[in-house]
Amino acid sequence: MKYSEIVEAEGHLVDSQILSKVMDRVIECGAIYEVMDFDLGRTNEQFSHLQLRVIAPSEDILNKTLEELIELGCYQKQVHDVTLKPAPMDRVVPDDFYSTTNHRTFARLDGTWMEVGKQRMDAVIVVTEIPGAAPVASATGTLRKAVKVECRKLRDVKQEDQIVCGAHGIRIQPEFKERDRLGFAFMANDISSERRTETAVKKIAAMMRQVKADGGRIVFVAGPVVVHTGGTAAFCEIIRRGFADALLAGNAIAVHDIEHQLFGTSLGVDLEHGNPIEEGHKNHMRAINTVNRYGSIRGAVEAGILKNGVMYECVKNNVPFVLAGSIRDDGPLPDTEMNLVQAQEEYAKQIEGSKMVICLSSMLHSIGAGNMTPSWVRMVCVDINPAVVTKLSDRGSAQTVGVVTDVGTFLNLLAQQLRD
């Protein structure tokens, strides 16, 4: 017996390579496909439309194939409401739960398509009633209880939460590769050091100006290499000019930034001459000790002890920063959040509603931020190692644009472009 379902997809299917991915995914799942209709878009504004019959030897293979295709933006021609099942206990969901992507997602309830809130990858979708809200009309004209639909991490699931299971009633809108977006697609899915950094920086600066002109937020994710490579002054200028709305980092960048401002070194090396200084190896501990004396980074700034640097500019310009701790941290600084779950929550809070995320040479924190960032938020990853950019993209943040260069050079060029 054969099992089949008709699916459809629309968008820039050829440019974004979604058409080939759909066909490959069907074969990989053990099914076959029959193209029933394909209408190719002929202009930048015109979408292509695909109608495909998926044929599988079993119902399980068909369901698995449909789930895979929905992640690529396909939707079933015969629409269904989502299937809801209660969570059997805290932090546990039914085995057939739907696992989210970072693409804009819609769930169908009582005939009405509702956008899923707090979109992120590797979560479940929970439907909850809104207490005290008036009933709303469904697509069929009947009244139903007002509900909200949002992504939730497994650790936040409570017993009896209504969990979306299976792929029925789910639609996804992938971010298609655009044919013209300030020329910004020039690097998409193309990570190489053989490209003029100046060209990349110019386009990124244009995007940043556009984001701010539209009232959007830009979040920076940064590692200590910003300090080591001499990018501090340029980064400070970018913050002062209002192009940074939040800084997400670890303990290290704050420690070395403060060490540099207090003692002129980073990891005990004189940044001006590139030479290690006597007993410089303990300067980062002296920096932590100084901040501890004043209770926080803000305390050191307000006491007039810390007078320059990235952390100083964040405090002075009211730019929120989140320092996520790790097992290797010295100190740590009193501002560093050593509770991993709380640090993730604080990261997510700053990323929510942002329009652009710029990652500066910190693989750990860049991947962490990427996991929380919806696909419609532009991500730029700057690193001297192309493998870092590739890894971020491979882990699901396919919207990432990579710039393979020295971070200090990048920041100095970016500050210059934003200045002109």
Q: Decide which of 57, 77, 97 is a domain's last residue.
A: 77
Q: How confident is the model at residue 420 (pLDDT cuts 50, 70, 90)?
A: confident
Q: What's the confidence (pLDDT) of residue 1?
A: 58
Chain length of the chain? 420
Those residues with Cβ within 8 angstroms of residue 345's Cβ, 6 or more apart along the chain or in another chain: none
Q: What's the confidence (pLDDT) of residue 244?
A: 98
| Mean pLDDT across 164-174 | 90
DSSP string, 11-74: ESTTTTTHHHHHHHHHHHTT-EEEEEEEE---SSSPPEEEEEEEEESSHHHHHHHHHHHHHTT-
| Contact criterion met (CB below 8 Å) for 75 and 51 | no
Tokens of 376: 């419609």
Respond yes or no on whether the N-terminal peptide bond of residue 332 is cis (omega within 30° of 0).
Answer: yes
CA angle 281, 362, 333 (to 5 degrees): 50
Residue 113 and residue 257 share a domain: no
Residue 206 and residue 306 share a domain: yes
Facing residues of 51 across strands? 8, 37
Q: To the nearest whole percent, how much of the chain has pLDDT over 90?
A: 68
Q: What's the confidence (pLDDT) of residue 401?
A: 84
Scanning the structure block, which residue is given the tokens 């100083």?
Answer: 312
| Contact criterion met (CB below 8 Å) for 205 and 314 | no
Kindly report the CATH number assigned to the domain that includes residue 117.
Answer: 2.40.420.10
Q: What's the confidence (pLDDT) of residue 231?
A: 95
Residue 266 and residue 165 share a domain: no
Of residues 313 and 68, which shows the higher confidence score?
313
Q: What's the confidence (pLDDT) of residue 182?
A: 45
Highest mean pLDDT among 3-7, 317-321, 416-420: 317-321
Nearest CA to 206 out of 184, 173, 227, 189 is that of 184
Residue 298 has pLDDT above 50, yes or no: yes
Structural domain contains residue 379 = yes
377-390 residue pLDDT tens: 999 999 998 888 78
Q: What's the confidence (pLDDT) of residue 184?
A: 47
Those residues with Cβ within 8 angstroms of residue 177's Cβ, 6 or more apart along the chain or in another chain: 12, 15, 16, 17, 185, 188, 189
Q: What's the confidence (pLDDT) of residue 296?
A: 98
Alpha carbon distance 118, 420 (integer Å): 37
179-211 residue pLDDT tens: 544 444 444 445 555 567 888 999 999 999 999
The count of domains in the chain is: 3
Domain holding 26, by residue range, is 1-77
Residue 128 identity = T
Alpha carbon distance 192, 153 (integer Å): 35
Q: What's the confidence (pLDDT) of residue 79?
A: 84
Q: Decide which of 77, 97, 122 is a domain's last residue.
A: 77
Structural domain contains residue 360 = yes
Nearest CA to 75 out of 151, 169, 177, 174 is that of 169
DSSP assignment letter at 185: G
Kindly give the interhelix angle for 251-263 and 283-294, rounded to the nearest 10 degrees: 100
Q: Decide which of 174, 198, 214 is a domain's last residue.
A: 174
Residue 404 and residue 295 share a domain: yes
Structural domain contains residue 196 = yes
40-51 residue pLDDT tens: 988 878 899 999
Structural domain contains residue 179 = no
257-290 residue pLDDT tens: 999 999 998 888 877 777 888 878 899 999 999 9
Residue 121 and residue 204 share a domain: no
Q: What's the confidence (pLDDT) of residue 181?
A: 47
Those residues with Cβ within 8 angstroms of residue 147's Cβ, 6 or more apart along the chain or in another chain: 109, 114, 127, 128, 129, 130
Facing residues of 164 across strands? 84
Q: Strand 269-270 relative to strand 112-115: parallel, antiparallel, unpaired?
A: unpaired
DSSP assignment letter at 309: S
Report CA-CA distances (Å) from 304 to 47, 59, 262, 289, 298. 58, 69, 12, 16, 10
| Contact criterion met (CB below 8 Å) for 98 and 125 | yes
Q: What's the confidence (pLDDT) of residue 177?
A: 59
Residue 166 has pLDDT above 60, yes or no: yes
Kindly report the CATH number assigned to the domain that includes residue 348.
Answer: 3.40.50.10690
Tokens of 253: 């960048």
Residue 225 and residue 324 share a domain: yes
Residue 332 and residue 232 share a domain: yes
Q: What's the confidence (pLDDT) of residue 194?
A: 52
Q: To the nearest whole percent, how much of the chain has pLDDT over 70?
A: 93
3-state secondary structure of 161: coil
Residue 87 and residue 23 share a domain: no
Residue 84 and residue 14 share a domain: no
How many CB atoms are located within 10 Å of the residue 97 CB? Answer: 19
* Mean predicted lDDT score pLDDT of the chain: 90
Scanning the structure block, which residue is given the tokens 């699901």?
Answer: 396
Q: What's the confidence (pLDDT) of residue 337?
A: 97
Residue 105 and residue 10 share a domain: no
Alpha carbon distance 335, 317 (integer Å): 17
Structural domain contains residue 373 = yes
110-165 residue pLDDT tens: 888 999 999 999 999 999 999 888 888 777 777 778 899 999 999 999 999 999 99
Structural domain contains residue 135 = yes
330-388 residue pLDDT tens: 899 999 999 999 999 999 999 999 999 999 999 999 999 999 999 999 999 999 988 88
Alpha carbon distance 242, 236 (integer Å): 10
Kindly report the CATH number assigned to the domain that includes residue 48.
Answer: 3.30.70.2690
Alpha carbon distance 186, 193 (integer Å): 14
Structural domain contains residue 275 = yes
Q: What's the confidence (pLDDT) of residue 189?
A: 45
Residue 202 and residue 157 share a domain: no
Residue 231 and residue 295 share a domain: yes
Residue 186 identity = F
Least trusted range by pLDDT, from 67-76, 239-248, 286-295: 67-76
Structural domain contains residue 124 = yes
